[in-house]
């Protein structure tokens, strides 16, 4: 996918992204503390930091964080939402060209984003900015697609109405995550997480996705009609649930 498309495709859905995207379970940060030794003294580059969902957890840990984000709308939202943290610096950059100084970073992290990166070029950039034996941490919330009738119908909705859903599903990239680490070794941990929504939340969560057609697209109205149908069919007490597996990959880059 062209880098420009990967950078711009969330520009018109920042509000829904802020309101409805899932966070990360506390165990995800805890494993980075326990297994990698993340401490407040460390400097972190959070790549494609977006609106700052994962960045906030790093800042609350006490770390100094450079949030590197190429999308202007997402970057402005992150600056606004993280303004309370004096140790946060917003950076206009990409995974392949962060603009950060050589050997200045203890941890490079990327949450829900590395599937957009050019793996060879971004790995080279991470090695450049990391201190010797620095850590790379990649994580994704992987939405389950077949664990409940609602999630099975939701997956079919995306396959039917999504603009390029099959092409950009990040689960395909997590299968080749070793490309970011090779020849270094890495470890993986998996945690369970869920989001529960009323209909407005379900709709907002859908429209936060880059592959969901927006207003004016011929698939937009029929997609929302189908979303309403499957919500009404499966909701319990006017609520429906997304289940996730949060996958965390970590290792020292050499």
Q: Position of tokens 């840990």?
A: 61
| Contact partners, residue 40, CB within 8 Å, separation at least 6 | 61, 62, 63
Question: For residue 252, what are the β-bridge partners?
Answer: 135
**Coil, strand or helix: which one is 181?**
helix
Largest CA distance in the chain: 54
Q: Give the HSE-up count for residue 121: Cα atoms under 13 Å, Cβ half-sphere.
A: 9
pTM (predicted TM-score): 0.87
Assign domain 3-143+168-194+244-252 to its CATH architecture. Answer: 3-Layer(aba) Sandwich (3.40)
Domain parsing of the chain, residue ranges: 3-143+168-194+244-252
* Residues with pLDDT less than 70, the chain: 1-14, 17, 167-175
pLDDT of residue 172: 54
pLDDT of residue 59: 98
Could you give the CA distance from residue 109 to residue 138 in angstroms, rounded to a whole number? 6
pLDDT of residue 11: 42
pLDDT of residue 10: 43
pLDDT of residue 28: 97
């Amino acid at each position: 996918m062209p880098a420009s498309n990967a950078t711009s495709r969330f520009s018109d859905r920042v509000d829904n992204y802020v309101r409805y995207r899932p966070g990360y379970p506390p165990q995800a940060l805890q494993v980075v503390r326990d297994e990698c030794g993340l401490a407040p003294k460390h400097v972190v580059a959070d790549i494609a930091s977006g609106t700052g969902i994962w960045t906030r957890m790093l800042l609350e840990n006490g770390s100094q964080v450079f949030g590197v984000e190429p999308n202007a709308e997402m970057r402005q939202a992150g600056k606004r939402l993280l303004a309370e943290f004096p140790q946060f610096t917003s950076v206009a950059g990409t995974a392949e060209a962060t603009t950060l100084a050589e050997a200045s970073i203890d941890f490079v992290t990327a949450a829900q984003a590395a599937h957009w990166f050019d793996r060879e070029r971004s790995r080279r950039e991470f090695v450049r900015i990391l201190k010797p034996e620095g850590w790379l941490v990649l994580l994704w919330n992987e939405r389950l697609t077949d664990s409940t009738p609602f999630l099975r119908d939701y997956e079919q909705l995306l396959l039917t109405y999504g603009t390029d859903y099959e092409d950009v599903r990040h689960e395909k990239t997590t299968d080749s995550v070793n490309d970011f680490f090779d020849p270094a070794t890495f470890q993986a941990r998996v945690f369970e997480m869920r989001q529960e929504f009323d209909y407005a939340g379900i709709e907002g969560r859908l429209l936060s996705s880059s592959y969901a057609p927006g207003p004016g697209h011929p698939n937009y109205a029929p997609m929302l009609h189908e979303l309403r149908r499957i919500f009404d069919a499966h909701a319990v007490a006017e609520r429906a649930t997304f289940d996730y597996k949060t996958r965390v990959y970590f290792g020292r880059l050499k």
